[in-house]
A and B are shown apart, each in its own frame.
Chain A
Amino acid sequence: VSTFSGLNAATTSLWAQRRALDVTGQNIANVNTEGYSRQRADLQAIGGSAVPAFYSKGTGIGGGVNADSVLRIRDAFLEGRGHTEHANSARLAEEGAALTLVEQAFREPGDTGVQSLLSEMWAGWEDVANNPKDPAARGQVLQRLDTLVDGINFSHSALGAQWEQSRDNLEVLVADVNAAAESIAKLNQAIQRATQSGLPANDLTDQRDVLVMKVAEQIGGTARPGKDGMMDVVVGGISLVAGSTATSFTVAGTLAADNTTADPVRIVTSTGGYAVTPGGTAQGQLTAMNQIIPGYRTNLDNLAVQLATTLNTAHTAGYDLAGNPGVDILDSSGGPISAASLRVAFSNTDLIAASKQAPVGGVPSLDNGNADEIAQLRQSMTGVDASYRTMIVELGVQAAVTERSLGIQQVITTQVDSARESVAGVNLDEEMTNMLAYQHAYSAAGRLVTAIDETLDVLINRTGVVGR
């Protein structure tokens, strides 16, 4: 054992404690940084020589401490959970938002929704029944019918506008994902180079993990650790980032809300056009565009057809003011009847077939039988009112269920987040305690140097002075 080996051990300690203090400083500085993982100086004792040699035998005392590596503390399993749960949250939030917009398009329950327009229209027929001759009563029932048709047209086009908005949003989202994938690939490359040359890449890794989480939320990507600290990102079985290369996705499918059955909106790879099954926000948007919105548009179409069939059947069974048989009162502005093309067929109030009786001897009857019968259609258990109510209740149930699932999912996500944070986050108390420990260790190492210095002083300057 060399005379100065104690001094050397103290020096390594001074150096290691300073490094540990530096790491503590970095942790404290980043206590509020999004995505920062706490770091720890990895202190390792330098052991004495354990291999016996012929002339040299160690005494078993080590040579000090080594603080070469700085560890980044993060739980890969919890990160994976975090990706999945964040994606689920984002998907449910998107679906919930879509359903809320659908609810707004129907404006129920209230005085402005289709239900109250229907009620007013039926009441209008009773006014005609009260006074079949009055042009005012006849005019107002046509007006109310027109308002009802406008209401149905409006709800339909509001849903269409919502669909187009979602389609635009999806394009933007996919562009955003592509940009993030590009950045992840670049960071992967930088991390690989740093790792290969033995440099710390902890902060680059943090930056990359934030991006991976963002991609997971947007499109439901899952991460797979690769070699040299790199990370691959896979979306629904298709690779988005592989090492230092990124592929890009694009949105395919119809541009018109009416065409989603034949050509649904979907996400595909830019080259090759392979279908991608996304999660996260993108999945929510696809569900809204391919199922939720088209579903309610179809419901509205069916409602329009039912209204037209019911009213036309009843109307053609009567006789108008001139004693002629009634004609269709609702028709289409082009193509088959749908919520978009529905319109009132005529504006001449005399054509309203209020009477049930055929003309007697050329004199038209002024009975109110048909108008009254039409007014009573509102009571039908299988009528338009009942169908519409059923649809609104279904919408309410669907929206409420999604909202509740989202609430539950958010609790789960927060729990996973706080679990991740409890592993990777910085605790100031802990850092303070560490700081104390390192500071004291530094002082102690310094004191050791002084002690050895004094020992040597005795040996060198005070010995051999006998008889001088």
Chain B
Amino acid sequence: VRITQRAVALTSLQGLNRNLDALGKLQQQLTSGRVINAPSDSPTGTNRAMQTRAEQAAVAQQARNIGDAGDWLGQTDSTLRLMLETTRRVRDLTVQGLNAGNGSDASRQAIATEVASLREGLIGLANTKIQGRPLFGGTTSGAEAYTSAGVWAGISGAPVTRRLAENEVVRVDITGPEVFGAAPDDLFAIVERIATDVVTDPSLLEGHLTDLDTTISGMLKGVADVGARAARIERVALINSDRSLALSSQLAETENIDLPNTIMKLQMQQVGYEAALSATAKALQPTLLDFLR
């Protein structure tokens, strides 16, 4: 084969260019910290990266949903506990009213007044709002769950829900009738009857007390229900944060460079490039001219 100086120079130059190109690619990976800079770098990797990113966005959103669901249930729980305390006080007063069946009118009147004011407090609590929505109003767009007369004003069709994961939806609300009993025998009606009957007809108080106990046990059931759901949300929150971490590391595995590996490769490429440079310098220099006199 006839070899010419120019052919040697051309092929050397191409080899050097290829070396430099590989070096540049590694450098780009190191400086950007990413293996995949364009879909053509790895089509399957791109697909995985895009899917992982989409999932990450969904999981981040679900984390927000979970936090929000926790707020709702926490608020419901504390409101229900406050209302239970008040209701117990009403029960105590009712028992007092029973025992004071032969007491003075004045003391009955006092009991009636206190029960009536407790009832107002109960209605106020039952209208507690979160994010501008009444807790016990179901899906109503109105401002209150109970009117000042103690009549439920909510909508009970669809539950208020939060999505905790792709396939997991949890109900975060509990409607008034579910927890306080349905009209006409709900908490507020019973308490109102007590307030009236403690003065007018104490003999009916016995019956009201039984009703009140049923309602209290209904409220306790509600508290337990809300607590169980809160526990479920806590569990999901743990799973969610685990998933978020797993997805981050998955994305890093797909997209980010393996630092030691890449630095090693860069070093090797650099050694190769320098060797090619010095070899080229040596091969291109001598001609017969150097040896003729």
Contact surface of A with B, Cβ cutoff 8 Å: 31-32, 99-100, 103-104, 106, 108-109, 111, 113, 115-116, 118-120, 122-123, 126-127, 129-131, 133-134, 321, 355-357, 360, 363-369, 372, 375-376, 378-379, 385, 389, 392-400, 403, 414, 417-418, 421-423, 425-429, 432-433, 436
Contact = CB atoms under 8 A, between A and B. Distances in A.
A31 B5 contact: yes
A422 B155 contact: no
B243 to A, nearest CB: 15
Q: Which 9 A-B pairs have the closest CB atoms?
A: A396-B39, A396-B43, A425-B4, A399-B40, A119-B57, A367-B158, A123-B61, A432-B288, A421-B7
Contacts of B207: none
Given A396-B39, A422-B7, 12 more contacts: A100-B38, A109-B53, A126-B62, A131-B131, A364-B141, A367-B139, A392-B47, A395-B40, A400-B42, A421-B4, A429-B287, A436-B292
Contact of A375 (B53, B157, B163, B289): B163
Interface string B17-57: 00000000000000000001011111110110111011011
B141 A365 contact: yes
Given A100-B38, A432-B287, A123 B5 contact: no
Interface of B: 1-7, 10-11, 14, 36, 38-44, 46-47, 49-51, 53-54, 56-58, 60-62, 64-65, 68, 131-133, 139-142, 155, 157-163, 166, 169, 255, 287-289, 292
Contacts of A321: 141
A127 B64 contact: yes
B50 A108 contact: yes
Nearest to B153: A363
A326 to B, nearest CB: 16
A120 B53 CA distance: 11
Nearest to B48: A109
A439 to B, nearest CB: 11
B288 to A, nearest CB: 4
Contacts of A120: 57
B158 A422 contact: no
Nearest to A130: B68
Contacts of A396: 38-43, 46
Nearest to A118: B54
A432 B292 contact: yes
B255 A360 contact: no
A89 B64 CA distance: 53
Given A400-B43, A414-B10, A417-B10, A109 B163 contact: no
Nearest to B14: A414
Contacts of B58: 119, 122-123, 378
B133 to A, nearest CB: 6
A258 B278 CA distance: 53
A365 B46 contact: no
**Which residue, B36, B57, B131, B255, has most C-beta atoms of chain A within 10 A?**
B57
Given A133-B141, A414-B10, A422 B2 contact: yes
A372 B169 contact: yes
Given A103-B38, A399-B40, A367 B157 contact: yes
15 contacts: A99-B40, A103-B39, A108-B46, A119-B54, A119-B58, A123-B57, A126-B64, A360-B155, A376-B166, A392-B46, A396-B43, A421-B6, A422-B4, A425-B5, A432-B287
A360 B64 CA distance: 30
Contacts of A429: 287-288
Contacts of B65: 126, 129-130
A99 B39 CA distance: 10
Contacts of A360: 155, 157
Nearest to A355: B139
A92 B53 CA distance: 33
B47 A403 contact: no
Nearest to A426: B4
Contacts of A398: 40
Contacts of A368: 160-161
A229 to B, nearest CB: 24
A367 B160 contact: yes
A412 to B, nearest CB: 12
A389 B5 contact: no
A145 to B, nearest CB: 15
A109 B50 contact: yes
Given A122-B58, A356-B158, A422 B42 contact: no
B160 A392 contact: no
A131 B61 CA distance: 13
Contact of A31 (B6, B11, B46): B6
B47 A393 contact: yes
A127 B162 CA distance: 10
A196 to B, nearest CB: 32
B103 to A, nearest CB: 46
Contacts of A392: 39, 46-47, 50
Nearest to A113: B50
B10 A366 contact: no
B58 to A, nearest CB: 7
B49 A109 contact: yes
A88 B51 CA distance: 37
A108 B39 contact: yes
Contact of A397 (B43, B53, B62, B133): B43
A399 B38 contact: yes
B165 to A, nearest CB: 11
Contacts of B288: 428-429, 432-433
Q: Of B44, B140, B288, which is in contact with the most chain A CB atoms at under 10 Å from its CB? A: B288
A372 B157 CA distance: 16
Which of B58, B61, B169 gathers most chain A CB within 10 Å? B61
Contact of A357 (B38, B131, B132, B157): B157
B191 to A, nearest CB: 27
A421 B157 CA distance: 86
B5 A426 contact: yes
Nearest to A372: B163
Contact of B51 (A130, A389, A433): A389
A129 B287 CA distance: 81
Contacts of A355: 139
B140 A366 contact: yes
A394 B46 CA distance: 11
B46 A393 contact: yes
Contacts of A111: 53
Nearest to A31: B5
A422 to B, nearest CB: 5
A423 B3 CA distance: 8
